């Protein structure tokens, strides 16, 4: 798990948490998530220092989270700032508003990004950063 957490990126802590959740899923739970979402998300996160990290959430084949580009080609590439990702993942920021205001940029299947709520709901709602 520690290979996902990147110093200076609060978002990486949430992504590592999401990875733990995915790893703990039974094969049936993983299959249900994959069937529901059916997509690969690539997050390009920029922190306050201007550094960039990429994380991939595969909800299409493997149901796993990795640092860097995944094996599967991303269906949706989402680019946003570190704090905006944290706010989006914790429900403080609405994805549609973030997109409309330019805080979130999406390349690829924009409609797939709407399914991100299902992914983020997998996170423990009590996890606070």
pLDDT value at residue 91? 86
CB-CB contact of 116 with 99 (8 Å): no
> How far is the C-alpha of 44 from the C-alpha of 46, rounded, in Å?
7
Q: What is the pLDDT of residues 36-74, one digit of tens each?
A: 999 999 999 999 999 999 999 999 999 999 999 988 899
Per-residue tokens: 47? 């922190």
Q: What CATH number did the domain enclosing 97 receive? A: 3.30.1050.10
Domain of residue 47: give its range.
10-120
Per-residue tokens: 54? 């990429």
State how many domains the chain has.
Answer: 1
pLDDT value at residue 94? 87
- Report if residue 3 sits inside a domain: no
- Report if residue 126 sits inside a domain: no
- Report if residue 1 sits inside a domain: no
pLDDT value at residue 83? 97
Per-residue tokens: 19? 């990875």
Q: Where is 108: in which H helix or E strand?
A: strand 104-108
- Report if residue 54 sits inside a domain: yes
- Report if residue 35 sits inside a domain: yes
- Report if residue 98 sits inside a domain: yes
Q: What is the pLDDT of residues 99-114, one digit of tens each?
A: 999 999 999 999 998 8
């Amino acid at each position: 798990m520690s290979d996902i957490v990147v110093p200076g990126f609060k978002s990486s802590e949430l992504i590592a948490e999401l990875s733990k959740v995915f790893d703990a899923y039974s094969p049936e739970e993983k299959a249900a998530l994959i069937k529901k979402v059916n997509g690969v998300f690539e997050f390009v996160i920029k922190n306050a220092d201007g550094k960039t990290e990429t994380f991939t959430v595969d909800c299409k084949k493997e149901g796993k989270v990795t640092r860097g580009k995944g094996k599967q080609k991303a269906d949706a590439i989402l680019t946003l700032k570190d704090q905006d990702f944290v706010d989006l993942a914790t429900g403080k920021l609405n994805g549609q508003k973030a997109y409309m205001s330019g805080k979130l940029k999406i390349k690829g299947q924009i409609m797939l990004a709407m399914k991100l709520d299902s992914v983020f709901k997998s996170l423990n709602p009590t996890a606070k950063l």
